[in-house]
Amino acid sequence: MSDARMLGEELTGWTPPPRPAFDALEGQWTRLERLSADTHAASLFRAYSGYDALWDYMPNGPFSSATQYHRWAREAEASADPLHFAIQNQETGRWGGTCALLRIAPEAGSVELGYIALAPELQRTRTSTEAFLLLIEWAFEAGYRRFEWKCNALNMPSRRAAQRLGLSYEGTFRQAQVVKGRNRDTAWFAAIDSEWPALREAYRAWLRPENFDEEGRQRERLGDLTSLVRAASDPAL
């Protein structure tokens, strides 16, 4: 019997990427800015107001007043991990959502996208999708090896969004957390750097202005463009 040891691939020439240090990213329809309570909180609270279900799967919220949300935003803006961003629809000028980079681990080349809270006006829009694409692009172009997305396994819209972006389903961690007094099973998705060139081409094709009609509806779906890149699909979808 051979006693040869099985070892992982040696990462010759790889160096840990930088931590995110940018204040803003901008696309065709979207602007991301580091979350600022004084700049964004009032507009975000108005966009979220009346939609408490947005917070069902989140560790934070719902918020009963603008003051309470401002207080949370003040704490969030001081955090380096999670690193929170506000999302602006550049066509309307309104701030309608937030998201964050978290579990930022340059030593492993890994980063996660989470804390996604989208007001109804940004849900299932090219604005919110482009916000996620901007962050995925930043991570891989900066040298990260792995981009993660994790969500409550009951959160089917989040699972669909992850797969649509071309992130591969990697399994469900049972009883992973207790959130707001309830059990949370966590579904894991990720893309790795070897998949990035193909994902980048899919993103560029989807983002072409001619891929959208006069009402902003996509002609070719992002999920169709990324389907060949995914190493595994979510069996729940």
Residue 225 and residue 205 in contact, taking contact as beta carbons nearer than 8 Å: yes
DSSP structure class, residue 8: P
Residue 221 lies in a domain: yes
Distances (CA, A) of 49 to 44, 118, 158: 8, 12, 21
Within-domain flag for 12: no
Domain count, the chain: 1
If you compute the radius of gyration of the chain from its CA atoms, what whole number of angstroms results? 18
Query: How confident is the model over 21-75, as pLDDT tens digits?
Result: 999 999 999 999 999 999 999 999 999 999 999 999 999 999 999 999 999 999 9
Residues paired with residue 97 on neighbouring β-strands, in sequence order: 87, 118
Q: Is residue 137 part of a domain?
A: yes
Instruction: Say which amino acid occupies 28.
Output: Q
Residue 35 forms part of a structural domain: yes
**Rounded to an integer, what distance in angstroms lies between the CA atom of residue 52 and that of residue 55?**
6
What is the chain's pLDDT, residue by residue, as a tens digit (237 residues)? 556 788 898 998 889 999 999 999 999 999 999 999 999 999 999 999 999 999 999 999 999 999 999 999 999 999 999 999 999 999 999 999 999 999 999 999 999 999 999 999 999 999 999 999 999 999 999 999 999 999 999 999 999 999 999 999 999 999 999 999 999 999 999 999 999 999 999 999 999 999 999 888 899 999 999 999 999 999 999
CATH code of 195's domain:
3.40.630.30
Residue 120 covered by a domain: yes
- The parent domain of residue 189 ranges over 24-226
Please report, for residues 12, 31, 140, 228, the alpha-carbon distance to residue 233 in angstroms, rounded to integers and kept in the order given.
31, 30, 21, 10
Residue 7 lies in a domain: no
Kindly state whether residue 16 falls inside one of the protein's structural domains: no
- 173, part of any domain: yes
**Measured distance CA(33)–CA(84) in Å, rounded:** 9
Please tell me the pTM assigned to this model.
Answer: 0.95
